[in-house]
Amino acid sequence: MYRSHDCGALRMEHIGREVTLSGWVDTSRDLGGTTFIDLRDRYGITQLVFDMEANAELCEQARKLGREYVVQAIGVVRERYNKNPNRATGDIEIDVRSLQVLNASKTPPFTIEEDTDGGEDLRMKYRYLDLRRENVQSNIIFRHRLGLETRKYLSDHAFIEVETPVLIKSTPEGARDFVVPSRMNPGQFYALPQSPQTFKQLLMVSGFDRYFQIVKCFRDEDLRADRQPEFTQIDCEMSFVTQDEILATFEGLTKHLFKSIKGIDLPDFPRMNYDEAMSKYGSDKPDTRFDMTFVELNDLVKDKGFNVFDQAELVVGICAKGIADAYSNKDLKALTEWVQRPQIGAKGLVYAKLNTDGSIKSTVGKFYTDEDIRQWAELMNAEDGDILFILSGEAEKTRKQLGELRLELGSRLGLRKADDFKPLWVVDFPLLEWDEDTERFYAMHHPFTSPKKADISRMLDGDHETMKSLRADAYDLVINGVEIGGGSIRIHDRALQAKNFKLLGFTPEEAEEQFGFLMGAFEYGAPPHGGIAFGFDRLCAVLNGQNSIRDFIAFPKNNMGRDVMIDAPGRIDDVQLSELSLRLDIKDQ
């Protein structure tokens, strides 16, 4: 028997018992007559004590143990003199009677503790050691619990978990596909699924009625901190449902997860339509933990000789409360430079400081009197002590820029608290998005999303301009400015699906070749259906008030999509290449 207890189990009630523990040497302290070793495993840390006087040989043996050695200790539980209230096992220690080294360890390249001295690259290369750190391990355990509670809730609501294939056909769904060459079909490729979208719809045609899957999805995108080439979704689909029923079901899931895992009772989620989100927050995933909503100033600012505002399609501002005294000219200059960075791209930033002494200082004092600015302030519900920040230009771009500034100010002012959770549904997305550069429509959600019932006839008969105004039964769940999930009611009618593909620029032949299986299935009694998918990794991060999903993935990839531990992707040899009928054109570098 390797152990009678784990390293987090022993308490005062075990005093006097002989126990066997196994684990890793976390730290050791040699105080001359006594050696202390903290023994660690997944469950906790227990202090082992070796006394020179009682057993010199054993004590010598203990002194030689290096960090991360794997050892087994047999001893008797006793009360500690110096109790450690920060540790569950802090009242006791083990008076060790025998010790066995189960495996030695090289000195690890970084310390196995929360505040490790290892940088990101090193930790990723030795991820198996990084995963020994308690804070990293607890993220992975958290993820396990989240999966368990998800399965519990969905099973209780009659959902069935069905696995869908990973080797599928390349289809356009927004991102690039990862492809896999087929040995048995020379020159042909599978693609890895960006999501099980079409399969889950087919399961509805089959009558499964409620499907879910906690499933890996693959998208070959340029990576950002919150993106991974492979990530996990809680993917769901339901038949005979309205949008309201889907939202109720998944609001229920979200509440269940917050309650069961965080002990938080979330109130009912507000709903905001897409247009309102864009015009008030400049984003379809607004962070509603704080106000600072947009106020449009077009009617007040025109024709006063300020060219920039006169020529702008939109002049829009936000009011930052109570910061006039704290924000110096230098701070404001820094903020102006911040919005001018290429990532944000604003030309400049107009501000008006409503000083607490009643005076006003603005960057546009030449064109606008204090009286004018008081009018803006009134519209923006501003008082003395506030600063108004105003951007102008082309409407859509300006809203996005102001949205970024709003988030930045929210962060700087401490208004985005990690333990404050503000979920909402964003609904009524446009069906299609017109792209000026490529002069074509793109599906705002994906090509299987249904227009609203009221818009179906306009979609079938309308002209080009009409298409821009079509609304979809599509919705996103947003928490604290992060898109947690998105879904839609689907098209289940062949003719409407064909029309949608046509609008998206597919020829009938292309549509048939790529999605004939789905449109064919719609001809065999497809029920009305809809669904949603949550980003599982993101949900883990948001529930923990963290930004990076990487911390919640056991073996994540880096910014270049590489796994630096196993060193993938890598070359394959010529034999493999020729079996796959592939020839590389890349010269050795």
Interface with ligand ASP, residue 317, by CB under 6 A: no
Binding ligand ASP by CB under 6 A: which of 89, 139, 197, 514? Answer: 197
Query: Which structure tokens are listed for 373?
Result: 């600015």
Q: In the set 52, 204, 314, 533, which binds ligand ASP (CB under 6 A)?
A: 533
Which is closer to ligand ASP, CB of 102 or CB of 248?
248
**Is residue 391 within 8 Å of residue 419, measured between CB atoms?**
no
Nearer to ligand ASP, 424 or 533 (CB): 533
228 near ligand ASP, rule: CB under 6 A: no
Contacts of 408 (CB under 8 A, 6+ apart): 335, 338
The strand pair at 210-218 and 230-239 is best described as: antiparallel
Q: Does 283 contact ligand ASP by CB under 6 A?
A: no
Q: Does 488 bind ligand ASP (CB under 6 A)?
A: yes
Q: Is 446 helix (H, G, I), strand (E, B) or coil?
A: coil
Q: Which stretch binds ligand ASP (CB under 6 A): 115-123, 287-295, 368-376, 531-539?
A: 531-539
Cβ 486 to ligand ASP, closest distance in Å?
A: 5
Per the CB < 8 A criterion, the answer to whether 445 and 325 are in contact is no
Q: What is the C-alpha separation between 307 and 312, in angstroms, rounded?
A: 8
Cβ nearer to ligand ASP, comparing 211 with 389: 211
CA distance 392 to 405: 13
Task: Tell how many helices (H) and how many strands (E) occur in the chain.
Answer: 18, 22
- Six token digits for residue 342: 């290429």
518 binds ligand ASP (CB under 6 A): no
Question: What are the tokens at 159?
Answer: 């959902």
- Distances in whole angstroms, Cα of residue 480 to Cα of each of 21, 344, 386, 411: 44, 20, 24, 12
| Residue among 7, 234, 484, 532 that touches ligand ASP (CB under 6 A) | 532
Which window, 122-130, 391-399, 423-431, 481-489, contacts ligand ASP (CB under 6 A)?
481-489
403 touches ligand ASP by CB under 6 A? no
Which is nearer to ligand ASP, 362 or 488 (by Cβ)? 488
Residue 487 near ligand ASP by CB under 6 A: yes
Residue 253 found at the interface with ligand ASP (CB under 6 A): no
Considering the complex, what minimum distance in angstroms separates the CB of residue 3 from ligand ASP?
44
Q: Decide: 544 and 139 in contact? Cβ < 8 Å.
A: yes
Task: Tell me which stretch binds ligand ASP (CB under 6 A): 63-71, 325-333, 392-400, 485-493.
Answer: 485-493
Q: How far is the CB of 448 from ligand ASP (least distance, A)?
A: 7
Q: What is the footprint of ligand ASP within residues 42-71 (CB under 6 A)?
A: none
CB 336 within 8 A of CB 347: no
d(CA 153, CA 236): 12
Q: Which stretch binds ligand ASP (CB under 6 A): 100-108, 201-209, 529-537, 578-586?
A: 529-537
What minimum distance in Å lies between the beta carbon of 173 and ligand ASP?
7
On the 0-12 / 13-18 / 19+ scale of CB atoms within 10 A, 165 is exposed
Q: Is the dihedral of CA 65, 71, 76, 81 positive or negative?
A: positive
- Judged by CB under 6 A, the residue of 61, 164, 195, 500 near ligand ASP is 195
- Residue 326's Cβ-count burial label (10 Å; 0-12, 13-18, 19+) is exposed
Residue whose C-beta lies closest to ligand ASP: 195
* Interaction site with ligand ASP (CB under 6 A): 195, 197, 446, 486-488, 531-533
